[in-house]
Amino acid sequence: MQVIEHKPVIAIKLGGSVLSKLSSLFYESIKDLQKYYHVVLVHGGGPEITAMLNKLAIESTFINGQRKTTKKVFGVVEQVLKGKVNSELTHQLNLAGINAIGLSGYDAHLLKASIMDEGSLGYVGKIEEVNLTLLNNLLSLNYVPVIAPLATTNKGEKLNVNADLAASAIAEALEVEKLVFVTDVPGILKEGKIVSRVTKEEILHYIETGIIHGGMIPKVQAALSVLQLNIKEVMIVGCQDTIIQDGEMQGTHITEGGGVEAV
């Protein structure tokens, strides 16, 4: 249960494809967000993992959007997520004046998981438990946890976790006010304008009519799946822009109900 006083919590998911594109405006806006929210960041690292696997000539396949993770693949996943992506992102946040602390799911048993399907996926996990005591303590001290989506089982086996699913599980456990997906576009676009507010039904209509297309489809589908949890609002924001201005969140707000508003 959420026990942090004074400010609500917001969870931000950074896809691996946007990490190299984050602008100074983005980092500044994380600092601004802290005036209004406690902030938790969860990141992926898919492109960097794939690049390293290719460099090492290690075969890698995907099954229903999940990377099949053999022991050999897991060694690379762990090295890239924990040793490179997490440390660099944490470093950049600290350079921007944000008290960020890098973590993986191993640290203080932050993320406990079960093996999803060892036969087809290998060492891929589903989050079963989040160490809220650790996160609440860090947030109450105004730290920004930066979490790499790695977890352990109750037996101590290390697992790779899909970053979207990790962010969703952490957001649900923390009872966040919003879960924010950072993408390479500033939100859902309609006729070149950002749709500031949209409902689940309207998104499905936009997909049917082609307004939402290509790479935006899996992003909004991930957002819709989160609304089935105890999370009232999901947002899609851009990696090159400020995500809060005059106390108002920028981008597209997605809820179960409401109406469309273009800006």
Mean pLDDT of 62-68: 84
Mean pLDDT of 118-144: 94
Mean pLDDT of 61-71: 87
Who wins on pLDDT, 200 or 123? 123
Who wins on pLDDT, 83 or 239? 83
**pLDDT for 241:** 76
**What is the fold, at CATH topology level, of the domain defined by 9-176?**
Carbamate kinase (3.40.1160)
Burial (CB < 10 A; 0-12, 13-18, 19+), residue 220, is buried
CB atoms within 10 A of CB 191: 7
Contacts of 32 by beta carbon, 8 Å cutoff, 6+ apart:
242, 244
**C-alpha span between 118 and 63 (Å, rounded):** 12
User: Which pLDDT band, with edges at 50, 70 and 90, does 5 fall under?
Assistant: low
pTM of the model: 0.89
pLDDT by residue (tens digit) across 168-223? 999 999 999 999 999 878 788 888 888 888 888 888 888 888 888 776 777 787 77
**C-alpha span between 206 and 215 (Å, rounded):** 14
User: Which pLDDT band, with edges at 50, 70 and 90, does 48 fall under?
Assistant: very high
Domain boundaries, the chain: 9-176, 187-233+245-263
Mean pLDDT of 4-29: 87
Residue pair 157/123 in contact by the 8 Å Cβ criterion: yes
User: Which pLDDT band, with edges at 50, 70 and 90, does 1 fall under?
Assistant: very low
Q: What is the mean pLDDT of the chain?
A: 88
**pLDDT for 257:** 66
Mean pLDDT of 16-31: 89
Contacts of 179 by beta carbon, 8 Å cutoff, 6+ apart:
10, 11, 12, 13, 167, 168, 171, 223, 226, 231, 233, 234, 235
**pLDDT for 250:** 84
Which residues are bridge partners to 126 per DSSP? 114
**pLDDT for 260:** 47
